[in-house]
């Protein structure tokens, strides 16, 4: 029991020491969002650098229903290790449209905020509660034009995310 308390305290201190600024999304919400439509495979177009995906390319995220649970299966290619890396997590809905919680390390959940999505659910802008996490995603069977990518990055910047130094997959 004491080990759990110590781990929680350490994680709290580490998150408090983060140099990334917190993003205030209280006044930003999607007008509509369907988790059912969001399910399926997404391909990463761009991301902020993060330790979970460092060195990975060809990154995909697949959101699936498994019984009464929503699971996330993320994959990426490590050129250095010459192999695929995969992680499996769990998604929880929250009362706010597009605001989800994701856990790859239960029982700890992080914020997964769908910030913008087109009406056909082909392109998505996803971020965390801090500027540390930001992704631009597309469905596998569609391409994303440079102009559209710039529009999504501008939306992110307007919300307070730092888009400098992003890693682009294509």
Residue 71 sits in a domain of what CATH number? 2.40.128.20
**Cα(33)–Cα(120) distance, rounded to whole angstroms?**
11
Q: Residues in the chain, how many?
A: 170
| Residue 136 located in a structural domain | yes
Q: Are 90 and 97 in contact (CB under 8 A)?
A: no
Q: With CA atoms as reference, report the closest residue to 43 among 166, 169, 155, 131.
A: 169
Q: Which residue has the tokens 């498994």?
A: 66
| Residue 15 located in a structural domain | no
**pLDDT score at 17:** 45
For the segment 70-104, what is each residue's pLDDT rounded down to a tens digit?
999 999 999 999 999 999 999 999 998 999 999 99
Q: Can you give the pTM of this predicted structure?
A: 0.84
| Residue 4 located in a structural domain | no
**pLDDT score at 14:** 44
pLDDT at 1 over 80: no
**pLDDT score at 2:** 44
Question: Residue 103 to residues 18, 92, 123: CA-CA distances in angstroms?
Answer: 20, 9, 23
**Cα(74)–Cα(86) distance, rounded to whole angstroms?**
6
**pLDDT score at 65:** 96
| Residue 16 located in a structural domain | no
| Residue 158 located in a structural domain | yes
Number of domains in the chain: 1
| Residue 83 located in a structural domain | yes
**Cα(131)–Cα(107) distance, rounded to whole angstroms?**
23
For the segment 105-148, what is each residue's pLDDT rounded down to a tens digit?
888 999 999 999 999 999 999 998 888 899 999 999 999 999 99
| Residue 3 located in a structural domain | no
pLDDT band at 27 (very low <50, low <70, confident <90, very high): low
Domain with 95, as residue range(s), is 23-168
pLDDT at 7 over 70: no
For the segment 33-78, what is each residue's pLDDT rounded down to a tens digit?
999 999 999 999 999 999 989 999 999 999 999 999 999 999 999 9
| Residue 8 located in a structural domain | no
């Amino acid at each position: 029991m004491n080990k759990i308390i110590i781990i929680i305290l350490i994680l709290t201190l580490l998150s408090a020491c983060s140099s990334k600024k917190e993003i205030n999304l209280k006044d930003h919400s999607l007008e509509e969002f369907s988790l059912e439509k969001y399910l399926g495979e997404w391909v990463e177009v761009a991301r902020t650098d993060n330790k979970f995906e460092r060195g990975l390319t060809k990154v995909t995220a697949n959101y699936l229903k498994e019984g009464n649970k929503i699971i996330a299966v993320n994959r990426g290619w490590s050129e250095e290790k010459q192999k695929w890396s995969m992680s499996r997590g769990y998604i929880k809905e929250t009362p706010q449209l597009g605001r989800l919680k994701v856990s790859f390390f239960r029982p700890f959940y992080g914020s997964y905020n769908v910030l913008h999505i087109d009406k056909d659910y082909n392109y998505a802008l996803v971020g965390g509660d801090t500027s540390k996490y930001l992704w631009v995603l597309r469905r596998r069977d569609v391409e994303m034009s440079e102009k559209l990518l710039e529009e999504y990055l501008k939306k992110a910047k307007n919300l307070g995310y730092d888009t400098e130094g992003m890693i682009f997959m294509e």
